Structure 1
Amino acid sequence: MTYRLLKLAFGLTLAFGSFQAHAETRITYKSAKTGSSYYQMGVQIAEAIKAGSNGDMIVTVEESQGSVQNVMEAKARGGDYVFTTPPALVSLAQGGKAMFEGKGDPKFDEIRALFPIPSLTMHFVMSADSGVSDFAGMEGKTILLGKGSFGATEGEKYLKMFGLEGKVNIADAELSNAVAALKNGQIDGFVTAGSWPAPNVIEAAASADVTVLSLSDDQIAETKRSKLVIPAGTYAGQAEDIVTTSLPVVAYTTSAMDDDTAYALTKTFWDEKAKMGEEAPWWNGVDQALMANITGKIHPGAARYYQEAGIELTDAQK
């Protein structure tokens, strides 16, 4: 009798463990370097998905060296893989162009979008003492661009594009020193890209009088980037909207993910987004309008959620 009871108990334990393993969906989320705002967003998404699914979905955040690596790994990962990247990189991978030349793979065609996350938003931050209120006024000023980042590359491109190449003094310093250098008068301004509100711009605006420059519609068209409006009052002393450019960023998976998981992930993200925005304001910049930035196909499971939510998708996204 004792043996039979032990055998039954062991069998029930195995069955319960099997049920738990079946009920719990595990997801790997690959985004950016630890310490970056996008890695922090990944952690927030993981916490929100766990809370919103009552623990049925567990998201593990993986460090990444950047968006290109994220896309490349889509070739070898399974249906539990979620990653972030600008839509433009997905298009390049599927076309075997630029950094993906000679590295094409049919699996790139299986990449599918889930939902947008905060965009990389350009900020041109000038001290009030510099008197600069537009790009032309930057001539002769000292600007910190930083090194190796999207913001540094994009900022340098804009200076050249708007006729300021060789007319601006570029400070030789890391972006992490920007706020202190601005307060000390060592620089007149700095360029940074990230989600808005950007932590370093919040710090600069709170500790010194600053002006964040707006771009004209013609300038935005010339950059070939997406237009983005940062509402008045986002930063201390900001009385008017800031019109700038952004590079959209989207959470992707592949068609290897089953429809129910993609549906649950997408629905839970949108259901929890308002709560995430209470803790981190950059989520408040994510709304249905950003869906237009998704240029490729959306996962059928995610598309089911958008249909239920009354969010129209383009023919190209279906």
Structure 2
Amino acid sequence: MRNMMSKSALLLASGALLAAGSVHAQTDRSDWPDNFTVGTASQGGTYFVYGSGWANFIADELNVSGGGEVTGGPTQNLALVHEGNAAFGLTTMGPAADAVNGESPLAPGLKMDNVCAMFPMYETPFSITALEGSGIESISDIPDGARIGFGPSASTSDTYFPAMLETLGVNFDRRNGGWSDLGGQLQDGLIDVIAFAAGIPIPAVSQLEVQTDVNIIEFTEEEVQTVLENFPVAEFMIPASTYQTLEEDARAVSMWNFAIAGCDLPEDLVYEATKATMENNDRMMSVHRSAATTIPENIKHNTVLPFHPGAARWYEENGYEIDEALIK
């Protein structure tokens, strides 16, 4: 009996050593960076909250120093990641398509081929907010020459929303700034409207409706169709539960967001970061509730960027198919 127990103990010990060796082999950190940054956007927007929270989560999970960085948003994040000035970033499919085709407004002619997709985040609705006292209750109510804040320069909102409103016949005075700053300007009467493109709930809007009465303006069915015909967006409904102000779902349009990584980052690093994110949706939801759609089933919404080999490995190991042509 003693010999049998000894053999069993020896087998268990050997198995533990082999398992430990396997884990070590899969997470060899010799080529990992000492720290990382995540390109987000301006303070007061969902990108900043989501990106900074995700950076802290990954830093804790992988025991690597890292954090979110305030940036101009999706378009600048593509450039930062491509150039290696940020390891990770958050972007939207419209600016991503422009970047890989050499049509980024920040670097015309430069095809950004060092940007890889990691995981889906959420849809970005395009929505409009005005003070209730302004009398603006629809897009057609926006007066000629209205001062409209479109977010940070070169952001998704600033890139697409002005063109959308021009297509809908709105004439305006264009303003830029961080979402929190624009919220303050709206409340102080320095601008008339904010045209948001950000994950919901938008912190700046939630703060505004606590401090004053606002109108969250929806698109008409005809306006949605006009925008769909002219821009890379999809139909979207903002749930009434998103804001205190809404009494029913509000019609809008949206664009998908993805987390991105430098294609030259170590495969194991991106694998482990993707694994932690995809296997801990509850933790991601605690970062921002828009992460409800940060799930692997939504990788299908990326048809623009190649997936990083590390991210692709996790998806394929877990039964999610990716077209070989979309893997770097």
- Same fold by TM (over 0.5)? yes
Match of 2:140 in 1: 136
Q: Does 1:307 align with 2:316?
A: yes
Matched, 1:244 2:252: yes
Q: TM-score, structure 1 length as denominator? A: 0.72
The structural deviation recorded for 1:64 is 4.2
Identify the residue that residue 84 of structure 1 maps to in structure 2.
Answer: 90
Q: How does 1:21-60 map to 2 (within 5 A)?
A: 22=30, 26-32=34-40, 35=43, 37=45, 38-53=47-62, 55=63, 57-60=64-67
* Deviation readout 1:185-213 (Å, 9 max, x if unpaired): 77664322322111121122333343322
For 1:123 and 1:34, the matched residues in 2 are separated by: 17
CA contact (8 A) 1:197 1:282 kept: yes
- Rate the CA distance shift 1:77–1:154 in 2: closer, same or farther, 3 A: closer
Alignment of 1:113-124 (within 5 A): 113-124=117-128
The superposition leaves residues 229-278 of structure 1 with CA deviations (integer Å, 9 ceiling, x where unpaired) of 32221100312222323343322224423333222111101233322323
Partner of 1:258: 266
Q: Which residue of 2 aligns with 1:296?
A: 305
Task: Note if contact 1:27-1:81 (Cα within 8 Å) is conserved in structure 2.
Answer: no
Q: Which residue of the partner structure matches residue 109 of structure 1?
A: 113
Determine if the alignment matches structure 1 residue 126 to structure 2 residue 130: yes
TM-score (norm 2): 0.70
8 A contact 2:124–2:256 mirrored in 1: yes
Kindly state the Cα deviation for residue 31 of structure 1 after the two structures are TM-superposed. 0.5
Letter paired with 2:84: R
1:161 Cα deviation from its structure 2 partner = 0.9
Give the AA of the match of 2:116.
Answer: R
Secondary structure at 1:297's aligned position in 2?
coil
- How far apart are the structure 1 equivalents of 2:151 and 2:28? 47
Q: Which residue of 1 aligns with 2:163?
A: 157
Q: Cα offset for 1:113?
A: 0.9
1:197 counterpart SS class: coil
1:80-128, Cα deviation, whole Å (9 max, x unpaired): 9323333444443433335433434xxx435321113345432211344
Give the partner amino acid of 1:86: T
Aligned CA-pair RMSD: 3.8
Q: Could you tell me which amino acid in structure 1 is paired with residue 39 of structure 2?
A: S
Gaps of 5+ in 1: 1-18
Q: Which residue of 2 aligns with 1:222?
A: 229
Identity value in percent: 20
C-alpha contact (below 8 Å) 2:164/2:227 kept by paired residues: no
Partner of 1:4: none
| Structure 1 residues 292 and 71: alpha-carbon distance in aligned structure 2, compared to 1, 3 A threshold | same
1:234 paired residue number = 242
Question: CA separation in 1, counterparts of 2:176 and 2:115?
Answer: 38
Moved more, 211-220 or 264-273: 211-220
2:211 is aligned with 1:207: yes
CA distance in structure 2 between the partners assigned to 1:49 and 1:202 by the alignment: 27
Counterpart in 2 of 1:192? 196
Q: Spell out the pairing of 1:250-289 with structure 2 (5 A cutoff).
A: 250-284=258-292, 286-288=294-296
Q: What SS does the aligned partner of 1:233 have? A: helix
Match 1:317 to one of 315, 323, 326: 326
User: Quick one: structure 1 residues 190 and 305, their matched pair in 2 at CA, closer, same or farther if it must change by over 3 Å?
Assistant: same
Q: Is the 8 A contact 1:144 1:178 kept in 2?
A: no
* Post-superposition CA distance 1:57-81 (Å, at most 9, x none): 4434455455455434555539x93
Alpha-carbon displacement from aligned partner over 1:126-165 (angstroms, at most 9, x marks no partner)? 3444554432233469553257533355443233111222
Q: Secondary structure at the match of 2:52?
A: helix
Distance 1:190 1:261, change over 3 A: closer
